Protein backbone atom coordinates (compact mmCIF):
# COMPACT_ATOMS: atom_id res chain seq x y z
CA UNK A 1 0.00 0.00 0.00
CA UNK A 2 1.26 3.46 -0.80
CA UNK A 3 0.87 6.06 1.90
CA UNK A 4 -2.34 8.04 2.06
CA UNK A 5 -1.95 11.66 0.96
CA UNK A 6 -1.80 13.94 4.00
CA UNK A 7 -4.48 16.63 3.96
CA UNK A 8 -4.50 18.37 7.33
CA UNK A 9 -6.22 21.55 6.27
CA UNK A 10 -7.43 23.48 3.26
CA UNK A 11 -4.14 25.34 2.75
CA UNK A 12 -2.28 22.07 2.51
CA UNK A 13 -4.98 20.65 0.21
CA UNK A 14 -4.62 23.67 -2.10
CA UNK A 15 -1.13 22.54 -3.09
CA UNK A 16 -2.77 19.66 -5.03
CA UNK A 17 -2.24 19.56 -8.79
CA UNK A 18 -5.67 18.88 -10.31
CA UNK A 19 -5.99 15.96 -12.69
CA UNK A 20 -9.27 17.29 -14.05
CA UNK A 21 -9.05 20.14 -16.54
CA UNK A 22 -10.87 23.31 -17.42
CA UNK A 23 -12.57 24.25 -20.68
CA UNK A 24 -14.81 21.27 -20.19
CA UNK A 25 -18.43 22.05 -21.13
CA UNK A 26 -20.17 21.64 -17.75
CA UNK A 27 -22.45 24.59 -16.88
CA UNK A 28 -20.91 27.50 -14.95
CA UNK A 29 -21.34 26.61 -11.26
CA UNK A 30 -21.86 22.87 -11.82
CA UNK A 31 -21.27 20.84 -8.65
CA UNK A 32 -20.29 17.66 -10.54
CA UNK A 33 -16.94 19.29 -11.17
CA UNK A 34 -16.42 20.31 -7.53
CA UNK A 35 -17.10 16.71 -6.47
CA UNK A 36 -14.73 15.26 -9.08
CA UNK A 37 -11.97 17.61 -7.91
CA UNK A 38 -12.40 16.61 -4.27
CA UNK A 39 -12.36 12.89 -5.14
CA UNK A 40 -9.35 13.04 -7.47
CA UNK A 41 -7.32 15.34 -5.23
CA UNK A 42 -7.80 13.01 -2.26
CA UNK A 43 -4.99 10.83 -3.62
CA UNK A 44 -1.71 11.15 -5.51
CA UNK A 45 -1.89 7.53 -6.68
CA UNK A 46 -2.56 6.57 -10.29
CA UNK A 47 -6.21 6.75 -11.29
CA UNK A 48 -8.20 4.46 -13.52
CA UNK A 49 -11.53 6.15 -14.12
CA UNK A 50 -14.79 5.54 -15.89
CA UNK A 51 -17.91 7.60 -16.42
CA UNK A 52 -21.40 6.55 -17.39
CA UNK A 53 -23.26 8.68 -19.92
CA UNK A 54 -24.49 11.91 -18.37
CA UNK A 55 -23.43 15.52 -17.93
CA UNK A 56 -19.99 14.65 -16.58
CA UNK A 57 -19.11 12.28 -19.39
CA UNK A 58 -20.67 14.29 -22.21
CA UNK A 59 -19.00 17.54 -21.13
CA UNK A 60 -15.49 16.23 -20.50
CA UNK A 61 -14.81 14.15 -23.59
CA UNK A 62 -15.87 16.38 -26.45
CA UNK A 63 -13.86 15.51 -29.54
CA UNK A 64 -11.04 16.45 -30.04
CA UNK A 65 -10.61 17.13 -26.31
CA UNK A 66 -10.35 15.27 -23.03
CA UNK A 67 -10.46 16.93 -19.61
CA UNK A 68 -8.99 13.92 -17.81
CA UNK A 69 -5.31 13.68 -16.88
CA UNK A 70 -5.66 9.99 -16.08
CA UNK A 71 -6.77 6.76 -17.74
CA UNK A 72 -10.45 7.24 -18.44
CA UNK A 73 -13.02 5.07 -20.16
CA UNK A 74 -16.59 5.56 -21.25
CA UNK A 75 -18.74 2.83 -22.77
CA UNK A 76 -22.44 3.42 -22.18
CA UNK A 77 -25.02 4.82 -19.82
CA UNK A 78 -25.42 1.70 -17.73
CA UNK A 79 -21.89 0.38 -17.38
CA UNK A 80 -19.38 2.85 -15.93
CA UNK A 81 -19.25 0.49 -12.96
CA UNK A 82 -18.48 -2.63 -15.00
CA UNK A 83 -15.95 -0.81 -17.18
CA UNK A 84 -13.87 -0.05 -14.10
CA UNK A 85 -14.55 -3.47 -12.63
CA UNK A 86 -13.17 -5.08 -15.79
CA UNK A 87 -10.00 -3.01 -15.60
CA UNK A 88 -9.65 -3.87 -11.92
CA UNK A 89 -10.08 -7.59 -12.59
CA UNK A 90 -7.42 -7.46 -15.32
CA UNK A 91 -5.08 -5.55 -13.04
CA UNK A 92 -5.48 -8.16 -10.33
CA UNK A 93 -4.83 -10.98 -12.81
CA UNK A 94 -1.67 -9.34 -14.17
CA UNK A 95 -0.45 -8.75 -10.65
CA UNK A 96 -1.02 -12.37 -9.67
CA UNK A 97 0.88 -13.49 -12.77
CA UNK A 98 3.74 -11.14 -11.94
CA UNK A 99 3.30 -9.29 -15.21
CA UNK A 100 3.01 -5.72 -13.90
CA UNK A 101 5.98 -3.55 -14.80
CA UNK A 102 5.56 -1.46 -11.66
CA UNK A 103 3.85 -3.70 -9.12
CA UNK A 104 4.44 -1.23 -6.29
CA UNK A 105 2.13 1.41 -7.67
CA UNK A 106 -1.33 1.28 -6.15
CA UNK A 107 -3.84 2.63 -8.67
CA UNK A 108 -7.30 3.62 -7.56
CA UNK A 109 -10.27 2.43 -9.61
CA UNK A 110 -13.16 4.90 -9.62
CA UNK A 111 -16.42 5.00 -11.59
CA UNK A 112 -18.65 8.07 -11.81
CA UNK A 113 -22.33 7.99 -12.72
CA UNK A 114 -25.30 10.29 -12.41
CA UNK A 115 -28.38 9.35 -10.38
CA UNK A 116 -30.07 8.21 -13.61
CA UNK A 117 -27.15 5.90 -14.31
CA UNK A 118 -27.02 4.77 -10.68
CA UNK A 119 -30.51 4.60 -9.19
CA UNK A 120 -32.17 3.43 -12.43
CA UNK A 121 -30.44 2.40 -15.61
CA UNK A 122 -27.06 1.10 -14.37
CA UNK A 123 -28.42 -0.34 -11.16
CA UNK A 124 -28.05 -4.06 -11.88
CA UNK A 125 -24.50 -3.54 -13.16
CA UNK A 126 -23.46 -1.76 -9.96
CA UNK A 127 -25.15 -4.45 -7.91
CA UNK A 128 -23.17 -7.08 -9.84
CA UNK A 129 -19.87 -5.28 -9.23
CA UNK A 130 -20.60 -5.09 -5.52
CA UNK A 131 -21.66 -8.71 -5.34
CA UNK A 132 -18.43 -9.80 -7.07
CA UNK A 133 -16.46 -7.66 -4.64
CA UNK A 134 -14.25 -5.63 -6.98
CA UNK A 135 -11.75 -3.33 -5.32
CA UNK A 136 -13.29 -0.14 -6.68
CA UNK A 137 -15.14 3.02 -5.74
CA UNK A 138 -18.45 4.00 -7.30
CA UNK A 139 -19.37 7.68 -7.00
CA UNK A 140 -22.95 8.70 -7.74
CA UNK A 141 -23.26 12.37 -8.74
CA UNK A 142 -26.75 12.76 -7.31
CA UNK A 143 -28.50 15.77 -8.84
CA UNK A 144 -31.88 14.03 -8.54
CA UNK A 145 -32.73 14.28 -12.23
CA UNK A 146 -31.65 13.20 -15.72
CA UNK A 147 -29.97 16.55 -16.26
CA UNK A 148 -28.10 15.85 -19.46
CA UNK A 149 -31.22 15.04 -21.47
CA UNK A 150 -33.30 17.94 -20.20
CA UNK A 151 -34.47 17.18 -16.68
CA UNK A 152 -36.55 13.97 -16.69
CA UNK A 153 -37.38 12.52 -13.28
CA UNK A 154 -35.37 9.59 -11.93
CA UNK A 155 -36.01 7.38 -8.91
CA UNK A 156 -33.82 9.86 -7.03
CA UNK A 157 -36.12 12.83 -7.76
CA UNK A 158 -37.80 13.81 -4.47
CA UNK A 159 -41.52 14.36 -3.86
CA UNK A 160 -42.84 17.66 -5.12
CA UNK A 161 -39.98 18.48 -7.47
CA UNK A 162 -41.09 19.63 -10.89
CA UNK A 163 -39.27 17.65 -13.59
CA UNK A 164 -39.98 17.62 -17.33
CA UNK A 165 -41.71 14.21 -17.11
CA UNK A 166 -43.44 15.08 -13.81
CA UNK A 167 -44.21 18.75 -14.38
CA UNK A 168 -46.04 20.78 -11.76
CA UNK A 169 -49.17 22.47 -13.00
CA UNK A 170 -52.85 22.90 -12.32
CA UNK A 171 -53.50 19.24 -11.59
CA UNK A 172 -50.12 18.00 -10.34
CA UNK A 173 -47.59 19.09 -7.74
CA UNK A 174 -44.78 17.33 -9.63
CA UNK A 175 -43.00 14.12 -8.63
CA UNK A 176 -45.28 11.87 -6.56
CA UNK A 177 -42.89 9.23 -5.27
CA UNK A 178 -40.21 9.53 -2.64
CA UNK A 179 -36.51 9.32 -3.38
CA UNK A 180 -35.11 5.79 -3.40
CA UNK A 181 -32.79 5.01 -0.47
CA UNK A 182 -29.64 4.01 -2.39
CA UNK A 183 -27.47 4.22 0.73
CA UNK A 184 -29.45 1.44 2.42
CA UNK A 185 -29.54 -0.65 -0.74
CA UNK A 186 -25.77 -0.45 -1.26
CA UNK A 187 -25.07 -1.11 2.43
CA UNK A 188 -27.29 -4.19 2.15
CA UNK A 189 -24.76 -5.58 -0.35
CA UNK A 190 -22.42 -5.88 2.63
CA UNK A 191 -20.00 -3.37 1.09
CA UNK A 192 -17.11 -2.46 3.41
CA UNK A 193 -17.83 1.25 3.05
CA UNK A 194 -20.84 3.29 2.00
CA UNK A 195 -21.02 7.05 2.58
CA UNK A 196 -23.11 10.09 1.74
CA UNK A 197 -21.10 13.24 1.00
CA UNK A 198 -21.63 16.84 -0.08
CA UNK A 199 -18.97 19.00 -1.76
CA UNK A 200 -19.60 22.01 0.52
CA UNK A 201 -18.37 19.87 3.43
CA UNK A 202 -15.05 19.24 1.73
CA UNK A 203 -13.21 17.93 4.79
CA UNK A 204 -15.86 15.36 5.61
CA UNK A 205 -15.93 14.38 1.96
CA UNK A 206 -12.18 14.01 1.50
CA UNK A 207 -11.89 11.99 4.72
CA UNK A 208 -14.59 9.62 3.44
CA UNK A 209 -12.98 9.29 0.01
CA UNK A 210 -9.67 8.39 1.68
CA UNK A 211 -11.44 5.86 3.92
CA UNK A 212 -13.00 4.44 0.79
CA UNK A 213 -9.63 4.16 -0.93
CA UNK A 214 -8.25 2.32 2.08
CA UNK A 215 -11.12 -0.15 2.25
CA UNK A 216 -10.63 -3.49 0.54
CA UNK A 217 -13.61 -4.14 -1.74
CA UNK A 218 -16.39 -2.16 -3.40
CA UNK A 219 -17.15 1.29 -2.00
CA UNK A 220 -20.27 3.35 -2.69
CA UNK A 221 -20.27 7.14 -2.38
CA UNK A 222 -23.52 9.08 -2.77
CA UNK A 223 -22.50 12.66 -3.56
CA UNK A 224 -25.09 15.41 -3.49
CA UNK A 225 -24.65 17.50 -6.64
CA UNK A 226 -26.65 20.73 -6.66
CA UNK A 227 -27.57 21.43 -10.30
CA UNK A 228 -27.98 25.10 -11.11
CA UNK A 229 -29.81 24.34 -14.36
CA UNK A 230 -32.37 21.77 -13.19
CA UNK A 231 -32.82 22.80 -9.55
CA UNK A 232 -33.16 26.35 -10.83
CA UNK A 233 -30.95 28.59 -8.78
CA UNK A 234 -28.26 31.10 -9.77
CA UNK A 235 -24.84 29.54 -10.59
CA UNK A 236 -23.04 31.49 -7.86
CA UNK A 237 -25.29 29.88 -5.23
CA UNK A 238 -24.17 26.26 -5.67
CA UNK A 239 -22.34 26.18 -2.35
CA UNK A 240 -25.04 28.17 -0.52
CA UNK A 241 -27.73 25.73 -1.73
CA UNK A 242 -25.53 22.81 -0.72
CA UNK A 243 -25.21 24.34 2.75
CA UNK A 244 -29.00 24.59 2.99
CA UNK A 245 -29.24 20.91 2.01
CA UNK A 246 -26.81 19.67 4.64
CA UNK A 247 -27.96 22.05 7.39
CA UNK A 248 -31.64 21.25 6.90
CA UNK A 249 -30.71 17.54 7.02
CA UNK A 250 -32.34 16.95 3.65
CA UNK A 251 -28.92 15.47 2.81
CA UNK A 252 -27.61 14.06 6.08
CA UNK A 253 -23.92 13.16 6.02
CA UNK A 254 -23.22 9.67 7.33
CA UNK A 255 -21.36 6.45 6.60
CA UNK A 256 -22.18 2.75 6.93
CA UNK A 257 -19.30 0.39 7.63
CA UNK A 258 -19.50 -3.29 6.59
CA UNK A 259 -23.22 -2.85 6.03
CA UNK A 260 -23.83 -2.93 9.76
CA UNK A 261 -22.46 0.14 11.54
CA UNK A 262 -23.81 3.60 10.89
CA UNK A 263 -22.02 6.81 11.92
CA UNK A 264 -23.37 10.31 11.51
CA UNK A 265 -20.41 12.46 10.46
CA UNK A 266 -21.93 15.95 10.45
CA UNK A 267 -24.34 17.49 12.96
CA UNK A 268 -25.37 21.03 12.03
CA UNK A 269 -25.05 23.53 14.89
CA UNK A 270 -28.30 25.14 13.82
CA UNK A 271 -30.70 22.87 12.00
CA UNK A 272 -32.57 25.04 9.53
CA UNK A 273 -36.16 24.44 8.36
CA UNK A 274 -36.60 22.30 5.24
CA UNK A 275 -38.79 25.14 3.95
CA UNK A 276 -35.68 27.31 3.53
CA UNK A 277 -34.02 24.67 1.37
CA UNK A 278 -37.11 24.16 -0.79
CA UNK A 279 -37.79 27.87 -1.12
CA UNK A 280 -34.36 28.58 -2.57
CA UNK A 281 -34.96 26.46 -5.69
CA UNK A 282 -37.21 27.01 -8.68
CA UNK A 283 -38.05 23.29 -8.95
CA UNK A 284 -40.07 23.59 -5.69
CA UNK A 285 -41.57 27.02 -6.34
CA UNK A 286 -45.13 25.72 -6.83
CA UNK A 287 -45.13 24.20 -3.33
CA UNK A 288 -45.41 27.70 -1.91
CA UNK A 289 -49.08 28.07 -2.80
CA UNK A 290 -52.19 27.57 -0.69
CA UNK A 291 -53.13 24.30 -2.34
CA UNK A 292 -49.65 22.73 -2.02
CA UNK A 293 -48.34 24.16 1.21
CA UNK A 294 -49.27 20.98 3.15
CA UNK A 295 -46.53 19.22 1.21
CA UNK A 296 -43.89 21.39 2.89
CA UNK A 297 -45.10 20.19 6.31
CA UNK A 298 -44.99 16.62 5.03
CA UNK A 299 -41.43 17.22 3.81
CA UNK A 300 -40.37 18.46 7.23
CA UNK A 301 -42.00 15.50 8.97
CA UNK A 302 -40.27 13.08 6.59
CA UNK A 303 -36.85 14.65 7.16
CA UNK A 304 -37.37 14.69 10.95
CA UNK A 305 -38.28 11.01 10.83
CA UNK A 306 -35.23 10.17 8.71
CA UNK A 307 -32.89 12.04 11.09
CA UNK A 308 -34.46 10.31 14.07
CA UNK A 309 -33.95 6.93 12.38
CA UNK A 310 -30.28 7.66 11.58
CA UNK A 311 -29.65 8.77 15.14
CA UNK A 312 -31.26 5.67 16.58
CA UNK A 313 -29.16 3.46 14.32
CA UNK A 314 -26.01 5.26 15.31
CA UNK A 315 -26.87 4.95 18.98
CA UNK A 316 -27.56 1.25 18.63
CA UNK A 317 -24.37 0.85 16.58
CA UNK A 318 -26.12 -1.01 13.77
Partner 1 sequence: MEKKGWDGFEIGAMLRSFDGATQDIATTLPENRPYSQSNSFTASVADWRIEKPLFNKEYCIDCQFCWIYCPDMSIISRDKKMVGIDFDHCKGCGICVQVCPTNPKSLLMFPEQKDEEAALAEWPKKEKKADAEVKED
- Check residue 41 and report its DSSP letter: T
Per-residue binding string, ligand SF4, 140-159, x by CB under 6 A, is ---x---xx-----------
Q: Which one, 141 or 195, has the nearer CB to Mg ion?
A: 141
d(CA 299, CA 277): 11
**Could you tell me which of 248, 249, 242 has the C-alpha nearest to residue 228?**
242
The verdict on 26 binding ligand SF4 (CB under 6 A) reads: yes
53 binds, among partner 1, ligand TPP, Mg ion, none (CB under 5 to 8 A by kind): ligand TPP
The verdict on 171 binding partner 1 (CB under 8 A) reads: no
CB 52 within 8 A of CB 77: yes
199 binds, among ligand SF4, partner 1, ligand TPP, none (CB under 5 to 8 A by kind): partner 1
Q: Which one, 265 or 281, has the nearer CB to ligand SF4?
A: 281
The verdict on 20 binding partner 1 (CB under 8 A) reads: yes
77 binds, among partner 1, ligand TPP, Mg ion, none (CB under 5 to 8 A by kind): ligand TPP
CB 232 within 8 A of CB 282: yes
Figure out which of the listed residues 31, 117, 141, 250 binds partner 1, where binding follows CB under 8 A.
Answer: 31
- Decide: helix, strand or coil at residue 15: coil
Figure out which of the listed residues 3, 64, 97, 216 binds partner 1, where binding follows CB under 8 A.
Answer: 64
CB 83 within 8 A of CB 117: no
Chain centroid to Cα 192, Å, comes to 17
The verdict on 24 binding partner 1 (CB under 8 A) reads: yes
What backbone torsions phi and psi does residue 308 show, to the nearest 5 degrees?
-60, -45
How many residues belong to the chain?
318
**Could you tell me which of 231, 227, 304, 219 has the C-alpha nearest to residue 255?**
219
Interacting residues with Mg ion between 114 and 153 (CB under 5 A): 114-115, 143, 147
Per-residue binding string, partner 1, 274-313, x by CB under 8 A, is --x--xxxx--x----------------------------
Amino acid sequence: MSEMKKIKNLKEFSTSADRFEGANLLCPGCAHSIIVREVLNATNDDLILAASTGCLEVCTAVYPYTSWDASWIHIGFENGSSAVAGAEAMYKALKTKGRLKQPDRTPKFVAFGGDGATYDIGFQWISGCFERGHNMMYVCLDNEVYANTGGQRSSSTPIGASATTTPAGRVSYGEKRNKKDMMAIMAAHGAPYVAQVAPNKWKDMVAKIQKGFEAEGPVYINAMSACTTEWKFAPEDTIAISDLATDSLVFPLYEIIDGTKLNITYRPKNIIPVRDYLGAQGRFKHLFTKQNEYLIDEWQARIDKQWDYLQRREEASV
